[in-house]
Amino acid sequence: MAPLEVVKVGKASSLRLQDCIVEAEGSVIEVSGKVYCSGDCIFTAPLKARSLASRGGDIEVQGSLRVKRGITVRDGSLIVAGDVEASSISVDRSMRAKGAKAEDISVGRRLKASWAEADIMDIGSVVDCRRLHARSLRVRGYVKAVELRADSLDVGGAVSCSHLAADSVDVGGSIAASEAEVYKMSVGNTVEVKGMLKATILRVGGGARVGGGEVEKLSVGGALRSSGSLKLGSADVGGALRAQGKIEVNYASIGGLLEAEAIDSSGKISVGGFVKASKWIKAGALSVGGAAEARYIMAKSISATSLLSDYARAELIEVKRRGRACGTLVADEVYLEDRVEADVVYAGTLEAEEWCTIREAHASHITLGDYTRVLGPLEYTEELKLGSQVKLATKPRRVGEIKFPKPPELGG
């Protein structure tokens, strides 16, 4: 390859260059009109021009680049040691600069800079910037940044940043951030936010890990794990939802396990597997395919295969076939399907199907199915119906009133 021709320029009305090194007669190369380059061109000093266009080579500026109108690099790359400013920047291959500012930045491959600001940014492969601000940012590959702010963020691959702030986020792959605050986020694969995640709408196709968060509408296809507390409007999680702190949610549908220090819900919680809290579970309605475990469980209605608690209070409690109810059940109505084992029941109405075992029964109306056993005291006020082969350890006692025990004091 022949050596590049050296050209000296001070001030010029326009420049037409081909495969050359441009040196400044002073400290700056200043062109009042257009600079057109063919092949590889190197500017050894800062460059100012009305517009810059090139074809078939790389443009290198060993200083800053200031262009009033547009920069267009066809079939080549743009390398700038300092900052780049223009009304628009279009580079077919890659662009590297200290900083970049334009209304419109389009790079076919990779953009690498300490900072970049644009109204519209369209990058073909990779963006690597410490500070990245855009109204609309579209990247077909992945984004790496420390601070990422955008009204609209559309990334085909992955996003990795410390601070993410955006209105609309659509990522085909994964997001990893230290903290994030968005209005709407849709992620095809996984989300990992080490700190707080705040979102109005969050949809994740795979799993998610957060340090804590507030989400109004949450949908996660896999599992969601939080190292802190979660405040949710509605939650739809296909796998497990685990939080080391407290979960507050209006409505929740969990396919697998729901686990937290404490769970508060004003609406319905539906869990396909198990729900577990080290302190309490409070809900409008609680429906569990497996077991519900907490020191204290309170809801308008509770339905579970097993209830493992010191105290459970509801208007209606249903324990499913072959289930287990540990602790004290207190409800207006308690319904035990066949072969359920229960400890202590206080109810307005208690109905147990066949082959149940109850340690204590205290209710106004009691109906016991065939082969059911009561191992301790049985008290009623209004009605007692016994099926065949019912076994009672003590004689039933009709009393004037059934006094329901008070819930425990848990605090926190």
Task: State the total domains in the chain.
Answer: 2
How buried is residue 277: exposed, middle or buried, by Cβ count under 10 Å (0-12/13-18/19+)? buried
Counting residues of the chain whose pLDDT is more than 70, the rounded percentage is 99
Q: Is residue 408 part of a domain?
A: yes
Asked, for residue 137, whether it belongs to a domain, the answer is no
Domain end call among 81, 108, 135: 108
pLDDT of residue 101: 98
Domain boundary among 90, 108, 126: 108
Determine the pLDDT at residue 276: 97
Rounded Cα distance, 143 and 61, in Å: 25
Whether residue 332 has pLDDT greater than 90: yes
Distance separating alpha carbons of residues 144 and 159, to the nearest angstrom: 6
CA distance 373 to 355: 7
**Stretch 47-52: mean pLDDT:** 96
Lowest mean pLDDT among 84-98, 260-274, 349-363, 397-411: 397-411
Look over the chain and give the mean of its residue pLDDT values, rounded to a whole number.
96
Position 90 in a domain? yes
Residue 202 CA to residue 234 CA, distance in Å, equals 11
Boundary of a domain, candidates 83, 108, 133: 108
pTM of the model: 0.89
Predicted local confidence at residue 410, as pLDDT: 64
The stretch 363-375 carries a mean pLDDT of 98
DSSP label at residue 82: S
Domain membership of residue 404 (yes or no) is: yes
Average pLDDT over residues 158-169: 97
124 is a domain residue: no
- Residue 341 CA to residue 326 CA, distance in Å, equals 8
Please state, in angstroms and rounded to a whole number, the distance separating the CA atoms of residues 41 and 266: 67
Instruction: Tell me if 349 is assigned to some domain.
Output: yes
Tens digit of pLDDT for each residue in 256-295? 999 999 999 999 999 999 999 999 999 999 999 999 999 9
Residue ranges making up the domain that contains 305: 295-412
276 touches 261 (CB < 8 A): no
Q: Which candidate, 380, 344, 346, places its Cα nearest to that of 364?
A: 380
| DSSP assignment of 320-388 | EEEEEEEEEEEEEEEEE-TT-EEEEEEEEEEEE-TT-EEEEEEEEEEEE-TT-EE-S-EEEEEEEEE-T
Residue 354 in domain: yes
Class of residue 26 by CB neighbours under 10 A (exposed 0-12, middle 13-18, buried 19+): exposed
Phi and psi based region of residue 180 (left: phi greater than 0; alpha: psi -120 to 50; beta: remaining): beta
What single letter denotes the amino acid at residue 31?
V
How high is the pLDDT of residue 4? Answer: 80
Instruction: Count Cβ neighbours within 10 Å for each residue of 303-336 and write b for 16 or more, e otherwise.
Output: bbbbbbbebbbbebbbbbeebbbbbbbbbebbbb
Short-list 274, 224, 232, 236, CA closest to 250: 232
> Could you tell me the two tokens for 216?
């109004």
Q: Tell me what pLDDT residue 408 has.
A: 78
Q: Which of 217, 256, 248 is nearest to 234 (CA)?
A: 217
Q: How far apart are CA 118 and CA 210, in angstroms?
A: 30
- 243 within a domain of the structure (yes/no): no
Digit-coded pLDDT (tens) for 137-151: 999 999 999 999 999
In this predicted structure, the answer to whether residue 2 has a pLDDT above a threshold of 70 is: no
The answer to whether 46 and 61 are in contact (CB under 8 A) is yes
How far, in Å, CA of 367 to CA of 377, rounded?
Answer: 15
pLDDT digits (tens, 9 = 90+) for 56-110: 999 999 999 999 999 999 999 999 999 999 999 999 999 999 999 999 999 999 9
**Which distant-in-sequence residues (6+ apart) come within 8 Å of 199 by Cβ?**
180, 181, 182, 183, 184, 185, 213, 214, 215, 216, 218
Least-confidence region, from 7-11, 12-16, 191-195: 7-11
Beta strands in 205-340 (DSSP E): 208-220, 224-226, 230-237, 241-243, 246-254, 258-260, 262-265, 268-271, 275-277, 280-288, 291-293, 296-336
CA atoms within 13 A on the CB side of 189: 12
Mean pLDDT in residue range 159-163: 97
295, 408 contact by CB (below 8 A): yes
